[in-house]
Amino acid sequence: MLRQIWDIDLQGLSHWRQRLVNTLRIIYLLLHDVFFDPQLTMRAMSLVYTTLLALVPLIAVSVSVLKGFGVHNQIEPALLNILRPLGNRGVEITHTITQFVNNINSGLLGSFGLALLLYTVVSLMQKIEQSFNHTWRVSEERSIGQRFSDYLSVIMIGPVLVFSALGLTASLASTTLYQKLIDYPVFAFVIGLGSHVLPFVLVIMAFTLIYVFIPNTRVKLSSALTGASVAGILWQSLGWLFAWFIATANYSAIYSAFATLFFFMIWLYASWSILLIGAGIAFYHQHPEQRIRERHALFLSNRMKEKVALAIMAQVARSYYAHQEPWRLRDLAQTLNVAMDSLRPIVLALQQHGLLIRTDADPPGYIPGQAPETMPLLSILDAVRQAEEDAILNLKRLPNDSVVDQYFDLYQAAAAQSLATLTLKDMLVNTNKSVVTLKGQAH
């Protein structure tokens, strides 16, 4: 069965069969990530711990923002709705959290306390971003300034939008037109159906916004919506199942007073796991090239790194001279037929040596860090050859061996002499002349 899913040629299938095969492949990869990749479990558990620390400060900040709009009293009903699967224990947790929030006195906290409060909230958002970035194979995080501006924007604006939507819905339900329409059986049926569908829609919309804004990469709306739809349905369905489990199980005899905390942590873990699974669906939907059965790290040999570095700089320089749009990482990966995970460290090494500059566009592009006519080819090769060296691991750490040092220096000198006078522009413009020069030096 698995062989048929992965070995089948999609080009010869109809459109709906291609969708079916791709869906089965994504399901297989997600099951592999859930049961065989410890990262998802570890990150979900980490988010549970961080949530426990930051939940009260997060709600406190939201309440302070919503007070300006007069809707801060809706926080408790919203939190109760989220914890509804916990039954009576959800009511108890909601009441306890609300008490904690009400007991926060900004006057007694002082400036240091308020700063610590905001830092706790921002650290939760950073932990969420790191988890999503891992799913999206993104190694670069936002800068400190971006974190505070982006995170605080989400924290400040997000609750306002959510409760504004809820308030608009409640206002429509109280209008005279609504009361008249509900008297008709057809409209009553549609409205009743909508009341059951609305929770799914709101959850899916919230998850979609999370998948679009949190990862430090550009996420297509269609991919985010696909992942959010599956995650939203899973979350609502698991909520019903969890509520039934809470109603039938009697763990108070085992955990006593800790039973409430026990179930709360389980529900947080399940919620974060579903969110990460939805992020994985969005990732595989947007990147079909990542739907491969064999999941292993892709390492390039040293000679491949050198040639790929030259190829990257050649493509970037050609676009620079032709006044075209800067190359993006994904386009470079597709053009060079190299996985993005393997290409990213090479691009980063070229950036660190000032040979590439990353633009501020979304998604970012890459332009030459200096004029191609002044960029030695040898500097490009040296950038990738020295990429993983640092203060701890470098050539000086190796023991002295006169024989080895002699021949290694001979090799280094020969390579340097061959490319000493050649620049990136020479490789693009005077290709034949450069090759003849190199052949002459070799002989």
Provide the whole-model pTM: 0.67
What are the structural domains, with CATH classification, of the chain? Answer: 37-290 (no CATH), 302-442 (1.10.10.10)
Classified as helix, coil or strand, 423 is: strand
Task: For residue 38, say if its preceding peptide bond is cis, omega within 30 degrees of 0.
Answer: no
Q: What confidence score (pLDDT) does residue 392 get? A: 75
Instruction: Give me the pLDDT at residue 1, please.
Output: 56
Q: Cα–Cα distances in Å, from 279 out to 220, 265, 412? A: 12, 21, 46
Strand partners, 328: 365
Would you give per-residue pLDDT tens digits along the chain (443 residues)? 556 666 676 666 777 777 887 888 888 888 877 777 778 888 888 888 888 887 777 777 777 666 665 555 666 777 777 777 777 777 777 777 777 766 665 555 556 566 776 777 778 888 888 889 888 887 777 777 777 777 767 776 666 666 655 555 555 555 666 566 666 676 666 666 666 677 778 788 888 988 988 888 888 899 999 999 999 899 888 888 877 777 776 666 666 667 777 788 888 898 899 999 999 999 988 888 777 766 555 678 888 999 999 999 999 999 999 999 999 988 898 888 887 778 888 999 999 999 999 988 767 899 999 999 999 999 999 999 888 777 777 777 888 888 888 888 898 888 888 888 889 998 888 654 444 444 444 44
Could you tell me which residues come within 8 angstroms of residue 443 by beta carbon, excluding any fewer than 6 positions away?
none
- Residue 436: the pLDDT is 45
**DSSP string for residues in 185-219:** HHHHHHHHHHHHHHHHHHHHHHHHHHHHHSSSS--
Q: Cα separation of 233 and 236, whole Å?
A: 5
Q: How far apart are CA 47 and CA 33, in angstroms?
A: 17
The alpha carbon dihedral of 22, 23, 24, 30 has a sign of: positive
Angle (CA) 407-408-412 rounded to 5° is 115
pLDDT in the model for residue 438: 43
Closest CA to 48 of 127, 141, 158: 127
Do 240 and 85 contact (CB within 8 A), yes or no?
yes
C-alpha distances (whole Å) from 62 to each of 79, 125, 153, 187 are 12, 14, 11, 36
Tokens of residue 236, six digits: 């609502």
Cα distances from 179 to residues 87, 184, 185, 191, 194, in angstroms, run 31, 10, 12, 11, 15
Q: How far apart are CA 94 and CA 77, in angstroms?
A: 9
Whole-angstrom Cα distance, residue 142 to residue 129? 9
Taking the C-alpha atoms of residue 54 and residue 101, their distance in angstroms, rounded to an integer, is 12
Under a CB-based contact definition with an 8 Å cutoff, are residues 47 and 272 in contact? yes
Cα first-last separation, the chain: 58
Phi-psi region of 256 (alpha: psi -120 to 50; beta: other; left: phi over 0): left
C-alpha span between 52 and 77 (Å, rounded): 19
Residue whose structure tokens are 């203060």: 391
Angstrom distances, CA of residue 5 to CA of 28, 230, 289, 307, 317: 10, 21, 15, 35, 41
| Whether 332 contacts 312, CB under 8 Å | yes
Helix locations, 249-362, DSSP H: 252-255, 259-286, 302-321, 329-336, 340-352
Taking the C-alpha atoms of residue 336 and residue 25, their distance in angstroms, rounded to an integer, is 25
CA distance 348 to 326: 16
Which 3 state secondary structure label does DSSP give 408?
helix
With tokens 């109280």, the residue in question is: 174
Token couple for 375: 């960029």
Closest C-alpha to 309, from 340, 334, 345: 345
* C-alpha pair distances (Å), 104 with each of 8, 61, 76, 98, 140: 60, 10, 16, 10, 35
Strands across the sheet containing 365-368: 327-328, 365-368, 356-358
Q: Residue 250's Cα: distance from chain center in Å?
A: 38
Instruction: Quote the pLDDT of residue 338.
Output: 83
Residue 256 burial by CB count (10 A; 0-12/13-18/19+): exposed, middle or buried?
exposed
